């Protein structure tokens, strides 16, 4: 449910200010985000529980670590985080520039949504027009173009999605069929890692912002998506010291 908790390194709550972590979850803003327009909204949540996996460390180790922090040392954790930016779509062609800089950008995902005439819940509907099957995407970071050639048909988009999430050439599958992919399950994905799944093998966007050239999203204003979402998956460093906790992206 929370990316920060889905890491290889557990959060050392013993060294976090206050002795714990506060988790805030926003369930939904509107009913349309989680309910189809033809379905019932007559429901409620109750008896909520937070299930936590905990590793208990030896008290001697915690004492040694405390002395290390109080002596001016620090504890550095590598985590991976998500960043999402919303863009308004004004035509069949647009250029998206992500101005936030990342030390290591691992991958990014582009999805669309159309508000008018949509009867499905927002949380799992990724719109693509029937006139946008020739959608073309090319990304650039500094002087580097990613991928080397434009992704300009559904087969290529689907293939790159499987590679980006690490299920291509494996026995693992995803719950998006090839048929649904071109209508209400479209996700354009690009992998920026030099070595898949390796630490810190992504690309730096400092002084070289991520720019996406998107073409052929549709034919007319009636079938174009209304919004585009750009989600970036990147490395993040968390440093814990006696002065507090700092986060660097």
Ramachandran assignment for 94, one of left (phi > 0), alpha (psi -120 to 50 degrees), beta (any other): beta
Tokens 């048909």 found at: 153
157 in Cβ contact with 112 (< 8 Å): no
The one-digit pLDDT tens for each residue of the chain (249 residues) are 566 777 777 888 888 776 677 778 777 777 777 777 777 777 778 888 888 888 888 989 889 988 998 899 998 888 888 899 999 998 999 999 998 899 999 999 999 988 776 667 777 789 999 899 999 999 999 889 998 889 999 999 999 999 999 888 888 888 898 888 988 899 999 999 988 766 778 899 998 999 999 999 988 778 899 999 999 999 888 888 888 888 887
What is the C-alpha separation between 156 and 210, in angstroms, rounded? 21
What is the C-alpha separation between 216 and 224, in angstroms, rounded? 10
Q: What is the pLDDT of residues 2-55, one digit of tens each?
A: 667 777 778 888 887 766 777 787 777 777 777 777 777 777 788 888 888 888
Tokens 């985000």 found at: 33
Determine the 3-state secondary structure of 61 from DSSP: helix
Helix (H), strand (E) at residue 159: helix 154-164
């Amino acid at each position: 449910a929370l990316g920060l908790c889905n890491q290889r390194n557990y959060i050392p709550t013993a060294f976090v200010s206050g002795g714990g972590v506060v988790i805030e979850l926003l369930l939904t803003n509107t009913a349309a985000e989680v309910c189809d327009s033809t379905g019932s909204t007559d429901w409620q949540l109750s008896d909520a529980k937070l299930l936590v996996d905990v590793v208990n460390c030896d008290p001697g180790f915690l004492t040694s670590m405390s002395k290390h922090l109080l002596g001016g040392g620090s504890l550095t954790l590598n985590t991976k985080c998500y960043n999402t930016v919303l863009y308004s779509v004004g035509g069949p062609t647009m250029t998206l520039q992500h101005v936030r800089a990342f030390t290591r950008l691992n991958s990014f995902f582009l999805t669309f949504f159309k508000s008018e005439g949509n009867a499905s819940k927002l949380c799992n509907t990724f719109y693509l027009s029937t006139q946008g099957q020739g959608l073309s995407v090319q990304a650039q970071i500094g002087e580097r173009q990613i991928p080397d050639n434009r992704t300009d048909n559904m087969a290529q988009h689907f293939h790159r999605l499987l590679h980006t999430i690490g299920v291509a050439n494996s026995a693992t599958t995803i719950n998006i069929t090839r048929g649904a992919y071109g209508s209400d399950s479209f996700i354009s994905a690009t992998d920026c890692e030099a070595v898949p799944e390796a630490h810190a093998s992504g690309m730096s966007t400092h002084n070289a912002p991520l720019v996406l050239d998107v073409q052929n999203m549709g034919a007319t204003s009636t079938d174009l998506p209304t919004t585009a979402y750009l989600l970036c998956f990147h490395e993040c460093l968390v440093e814990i010291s006696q002065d507090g906790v700092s986060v660097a992206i």
